Amino acid sequence: MLLPAFGSLPSSRTGPVGERWFFSDGQTFQLVCKGFWRPVWSVVANGQLVLNIHSRGKKVELPNEPHLPEDRLTLLAIFTWHLMRQAAEDAASAAVVVAAT
């Protein structure tokens, strides 16, 4: 089960990047985003890459030897995709507000 144990709620300036997710079995994951025009969102655990999601190409990449059960990988991919979409919607809303002023 995923237990969101954020130090604080995500702010609209930073979004979800860098937050840590804690599972009840003690595993910890972190979300990292690199790139601007073609961002790649990564989930990292203990310095090891768990998965990459290319937001423009809508493609999920797993390392050669995934070290997590399939159900956990699926949950992480879905949760990351949700946060990506939420960040994109927040950015679009901000752009509309800026354009209207």
Rounded Cα distance, 42 and 64, in Å:
15
Rounded Cα distance, 83 and 80, in Å:
5
Residues of the chain whose pLDDT is less than 70?
1-18
In 3D space, the residue among 37, 34, 36, 8 whose CA is nearest the CA of residue 20 turns out to be: 8
Residue keyed to tokens 């840590």 = 20
Structural domain contains residue 101: no
* Predicted local confidence at residue 17, as pLDDT: 61
Structural domain span for residue 12? 2-96
**Total structural domains in the chain?**
1
* Predicted local confidence at residue 19, as pLDDT: 74
Q: What's the predicted TM-score (pTM) here?
A: 0.67
Residue 43, classed as helix, strand or coil, is strand
Structural domain contains residue 24: yes
* Predicted local confidence at residue 3, as pLDDT: 43
Structural domain contains residue 84: yes
Which residues partner with 23 through β-bridges? 2
Structural domain contains residue 14: yes
Structural domain contains residue 19: yes
* Predicted local confidence at residue 43, as pLDDT: 92
Lookup: tokens for 92: 């679009």
Please name the residues in contact with 58: beta carbons below 8 A apart, sequence gap of 6 or more.
Answer: none
Structural domain contains residue 87: yes
User: Which residue stretches of 1-101 are H helix?
Assistant: 70-100
Structural domain contains residue 32: yes
